[in-house]
Structure 1
Amino acid sequence: MSADAREWVWEHSSSRGAARLVLLSIADRVADDQCISWASLSSLAKRTRASVSTVREAVERLVLAGELEQLDDLVGPQRSTVYRLPLAAEAVIHARQEQQEDGDDAAVFGEPAAPAKLRLSALRRYGIRPREVPESPVRGRKPAVPETGRSRRKPAPRRTGHRHSDVPATGTQNRSEPDLNRRYSSSGAAVTSAAEWRVDSATHAWLRQQGHLDRLGEQGLQIADEKWRAYRADFKPRPADAWAADWKSWIAREHAPGRPNLHAVPGGKGSAVPDGMTRAEAHAAALLAALDEPTGTEG
């Protein structure tokens, strides 16, 4: 029967190029007059000297042309794909009918049958058998997503998010909101301006422990604080911890009223590093102060 199938391909198939070679390779394995064959994509690629993707496209073109059928409910040797050449099978049947002197054999062969009406018993000898159908997901296990679920809907565009009806479009999540209205830095820490920053209880404790409150007095401390806020007014907002470290550095270098020589410069020889600051941070604070603030003797 493979010879009849190959002859039909040579004489009547409209396929060309790689598709014609693929169809000839499939016809070469036709088992009987039903024109059933089997092959895997890798074996077809090896026989036709084409790539697997080329073979796959050739099979799709042959199926669309009606010259090849892929029988998904059957499986061949080594779980290969089962094919049928319907037009070749029809030609073989007509040729057999013409050779018969009576019509008895016509009932045997009949018209080209659908895959469900094939003579499966005749195909088993070639290793072609029905494919094992897995248990229905409805009876076997609960499907992850029902057929009427969201998986069949058109997915929403990415990054659209979900907005509640009572949240205005100009809320705090609007990208066009000015940076001044954002109370958080890119790292997630709260930031504030120097004018808004307030001395907390920990900083007050530092003043007493380091003796700066006794050295400057309440009035001197207030004057030093006002000067610091005046010179830091144009600075960009910073986290509260950064302002506290900068404020401590300023206070540690501030002159005591009436005793201008009693002050320490962070990083200098014999000088004290403000509590809570490393020596590197004290150096940086001293450099910043030298660039954009007075020495402290002007007023």
Structure 2
Amino acid sequence: MDLTEFDEIRPYNDEELPQVFEELIADPAFQKAATSAIPHVPFELLAQKMRACKTKLEFQETFCYDILWKIASQHTDGLTLDHTALPDKGKAYTYMSNHRDIILDSGFLSILLIDQGMDTVEIAIGDNLLIYPWIKKLVRVNKSFIVQRALTMRQMLESSARMSRYMHHTISQKNQSIWIAQREGRAKDSNDRTQDSVLKMLAMGGEGDPVERLMEMNIAPLAISYEYDPCDFLKAQEFQLKRDVEGYKKTTHDDLINMQTGLFGYKGRVHFQVAPCLNDELQGLDRLLPKPELFA
């Protein structure tokens, strides 16, 4: 298998980190973002701490862990995870969840997993959110792989197949869990049904028939519950604009406001509930079904 085909989309390998850290440290836009995220700490000290991180997990534990728990303590009334449905803590799963927040779905999951003595997840993130070069670098340091969005039909097929191969490689070869949303974008109307296309994409990689390919991914459904959605008014506004303004499209600035509101808005109690791995259910499916019915 030629692993270089993933170079464009995968998280950085640990040995690439020193070079990337230097690029980030030298980027004025990153300096500005870092000092506003971690005020009261001189940037030189942050840079020194970054350079001391030898792995992506170490970076997450040094920086992201505390920032995310701080957000949880200031902007939620409690953050909980029930992971008892998956007793094997050393196994890699594909957590497929409803999508409530661009950053916190995978971020909160990772800090909750660390507290249960488990590894953090690799994260599927749309390239539409990587609006500055430093953001793209930072998410790849933070174990994200990139979902390419604005492509032609043919490019989209190639890109989906490559991503699927990458995810299969991550679960089966790297033994590394993954977080992916069950649909493209957040559910604006709380309709949390999984898009068939996500399952079709997962079944592009791997070996055997579609059922075997899906079983290879160890899919574990994950339900994320927010007592209050801080972006509710933004979603309502978007619906209204789509209704009233022909061809309305969200801007990059809108995305930033959504990210900011999602991070720092009040969420009430937040709970993550993991369901058992789907493999037993998949095993029982009729493999002779036509593909569209099988995925449905």
Provide TM-score, normalisation by structure 1. Answer: 0.21
RCO greater where, 1 or 2, for CA within 8 Å and sep 6 or more? Answer: 2
**Which one has the largest radius of gyration?**
1
